[in-house]
Structure 1
Amino acid sequence: MAAATAQPMGSLPSGVSVCTTLPDIFYLPELIFGGLVWILIASTKVFPPNPLGWVMFVSVFCFVMTFLWLVLFICGVHQNSPGWAAADWAYHVIAAFFYLSAAVLLAFITLVNKNIDLKIYQEDISAVVFAYIATLLYFVHAILSAVRWKSF
């Protein structure tokens, strides 16, 4: 029964099947962990030499774009086109690279500012962990999107 409803790897899902097929099942965890990074960075004190602007940009940009991408897939705008599969792969590669750069920068900032305040340090550590998890999710999504794109 499950095999009859399974989405073939060479096609793009639409509707609620977006939440049940690979690699699109990663959209919701990407939104959750990206949102957590956004919230944790927004709640910390930003010191003048602290370049958290890039981290904030990445988390907000990827959150908004992932949500819009999810909505486009749910609405079925893609019309099962290989161009959309390539765009899906390209977006997730860019998002993984952005999140990796933001996570490394955030880890460095956290290490430099570890003696300032314990609460801020703990929030920054949490943000670093969530940023690396988001990076991993986007990276895995990019790999699975590449496999889907190549199977068109």
Structure 2
Amino acid sequence: MATNTGHVGYLPRGGAIFCTIPDILYLPELIFGGLVLSLVASTYILPYNPQAYVISVAIFCFLVTFFWLLVFACGSHHNKSSWASADVAYHGFAALLYFSASVLLAFITIFWEAAAGRDTLIYKLDVAAVVFAFLTTLLYVIHTVFSAIRWRSF
């Protein structure tokens, strides 16, 4: 029986990962996460701590999501429910990390713009980083929900 999240009790492998709903989100997560990373790295905010946290979250999630994509693409998961539960756990954790980084980045962007009246180009880059950070958070939340639906079918 097929559902919109793939076959019941089935984890895709190979090219099939680009045909199921939760797994098709790997590429947008990587693209938007890379945009967040590059936008935050190209701005200048004092203090550096919020930017360092956002960049750390972006790098961690980018690398682990890429690794997770490779595991599913190579078929190394052997179609077990433990991989489905690990998929839910990772994407839920990534959504939580990105949400905390997005809120922190938005707060710092608003606070430092009001306090310092910085250059408008830098401010626009910061706003773009905030928007893409929240979009990436949304992608991870959607991936978590659909992975949880697939996990329950095991």
Q: Which runs of 4+ in 1 moved over 6 A?
A: none
Deviations 1:27-65 (A, max 9, x none): 000001000000001111242355211100111100010
Check whether the contact 2:81–2:151 (CA below 8 A) recurs between aligned residues: yes
The counterpart of 1:127, out of the listed 108, 126, 129, is 129
Partner in structure 2 of residue 15 of structure 1: 14
Partner in structure 2 of residue 91 of structure 1: 90
- Amino acid of the structure 2 residue aligned with 1:59: A
CA distance in 1, matches of 2:36, 2:48: 20
Partner in structure 1 of residue 33 of structure 2: 34
Correspondence 1:138 to 2:140: yes
2:7 counterpart SS class = coil
1:113 counterpart SS class = helix
CA distance in 2, matches of 1:19, 1:120: 36
Call closer, same or farther: CA 1:23–1:9 in 2, change over 3 Å: farther
Q: Which stretch shifts more, 46-55 or 142-151?
A: 46-55
Root-mean-square deviation (Å) = 1.4
Correspondence 1:53 to 2:55: no
Partner in structure 1 of residue 77 of structure 2: 78
CA distance in 2, matches of 1:135, 1:17: 24
1:64 counterpart SS class = helix
Structure 1 residues not aligned, in runs of 5+: none
State the identity as a percent.
54
CA distance in 2, matches of 1:7, 1:142: 15
